[in-house]
């Protein structure tokens, strides 16, 4: 069978592959604290436009996918996008969704194709040099999924094996750091990884446990194996602030919504709806706000 469209195969670690613990080098989770301003003051351009443009996936089961019965986008990330929209416009309908891959989501922010990216996007120091983030809205952990009975039980069992990741994610970094021999298949979407393992083109998939839960829910022959490998806090991606495009107000607006859904129980309801298969709710991560001079 041919590989998924756009797939690439790599057997050597990229020279620029970041160390898996490099996130300790920056104030990873710091974001801007919400203020008392109204949306008209924080984000006048978006408010005047009349809709929020959100970049997300359309094939990530549990997080953002099309319901086959209704054709409507749904999932944890979609619900979060609608909550942010509700706080801006008073309803959750004034939102435009644009499909992005893991590889082009940062470019979409930098070129202002979207206002925000809500796509199970891990906050990393490397990415913070390119975009900014809200406070974390979910804490995931990298793990591995394999076929039941395959003999793969931990990361060491992947030595010499084939592993699928999505292009533009951090998932391969731990593999390169831990293993001497591995073949990495990079694809456009996690749905492509599901097809690849079903067609015996790879031996395992590695990414965040929340994404893997959505993948394994679609195939009873797959299971999560081994321990948690890395901590992966998810944030809403937003373009860096510039003199021509000050995005500080948008960061504060998003963080205001995150504060609300933490306080009023909405986040726990979202978790119960979409992610309860991962176990009891761990609670929404606590925000870490950047020290600021009084304004």
Q: What is the DSSP string of 74-113?
A: ESHHHHHHHHHHHHHHSSS-SEEEEE--TTTHHHHHHTTS
Q: What is the pLDDT of residue 249?
A: 98
Q: Are 192 and 168 in contact (CB under 8 A)?
A: no
pTM for the model stands at: 0.88
Q: What is the pLDDT of residue 295?
A: 62
List the chain residues with pLDDT less than 70: 14-25, 294-295
Query: Strand, helix or coil at 246?
Result: coil
Q: How far apart are CA 36 and CA 181, in angstroms?
A: 54
195: CB partners within 8 A, 6+ apart: 4
Domains, the chain, ordered by start? 32-138+233-278 (3.40.190.10), 141-231 (3.40.190.10)
What percent of the chain is predicted at pLDDT more than 90? 69
233-292 pLDDT per residue, tens: 999 999 999 998 999 999 999 999 999 999 999 999 999 999 998 888 999 999 999 988
Reported as half-sphere exposure (CB side, CA atoms, 13 A), residue 107 has a value of 7
Q: Cβ atoms within 10 A of the Cβ of 25, count?
A: 11
Q: What is the pLDDT of residue 25?
A: 64
Q: What is the mean pLDDT of the chain?
A: 91
Q: What is the pLDDT of residue 21?
A: 47
Query: Strand, helix or coil at 142?
Result: strand
Q: What is the pLDDT of residue 15?
A: 59
- 112 — phi, psi (to 5°)? 60, 30
Q: How far apart are CA 197 and CA 224, in angstroms?
A: 13
């Amino acid at each position: 069978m041919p590989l998924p469209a756009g797939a690439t195969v790599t057997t050597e670690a990229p020279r620029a592959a970041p160390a898996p613990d490099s996130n300790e080098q920056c104030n990873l989770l710091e974001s801007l604290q919400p203020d008392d301003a109204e949306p008209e003051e924080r984000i006048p351009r978006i408010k005047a436009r009349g809709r929020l443009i959100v970049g997300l996936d359309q094939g990530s089961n549990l997080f953002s996918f099309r319901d086959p019965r209704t054709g409507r986008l749904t999932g944890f990330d979609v619900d979060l996008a609608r909550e942010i929209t509700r706080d801006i416009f008073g309803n959750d309908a004034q939102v435009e969704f644009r499909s992005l891959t893991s590889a082009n989501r940062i470019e979409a922010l930098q070129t202002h194709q979207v206002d925000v990216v809500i796509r199970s996007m891990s906050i990393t120091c490397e990415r913070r040099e390119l975009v900014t983030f809200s406070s974390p809205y979910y804490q995931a952990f990298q793990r591995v999924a394999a076929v039941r009975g395959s003999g793969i039980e931990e990361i060491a069992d992947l030595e010499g094996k084939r592993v699928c990741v999505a292009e533009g994610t951090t998932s391969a970094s731990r593999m390169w750091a831990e293993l001497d021999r591995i073949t990495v298949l990079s694809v456009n979407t996690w749905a492509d990884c599901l097809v690849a393992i079903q067609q015996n083109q790879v031996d395992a998939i590695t990414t965040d446990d929340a994404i893997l839960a959505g993948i394994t829910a679609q195939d009873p022959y797959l299971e999560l194996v081994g321990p948690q490998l890395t901590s992966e806090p998810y944030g809403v991606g937003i373009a860096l602030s510039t003199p021509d495009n000050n995005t500080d107000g948008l960061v504060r607006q998003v963080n205001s919504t995150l504060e609300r859904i933490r306080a009023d129980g909405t986040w726990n309801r979202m978790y119960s709806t979409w992610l309860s298969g991962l176990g009891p709710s761990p609670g929404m991560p606590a925000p870490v706000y950047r020290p600021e001079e009084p304004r």
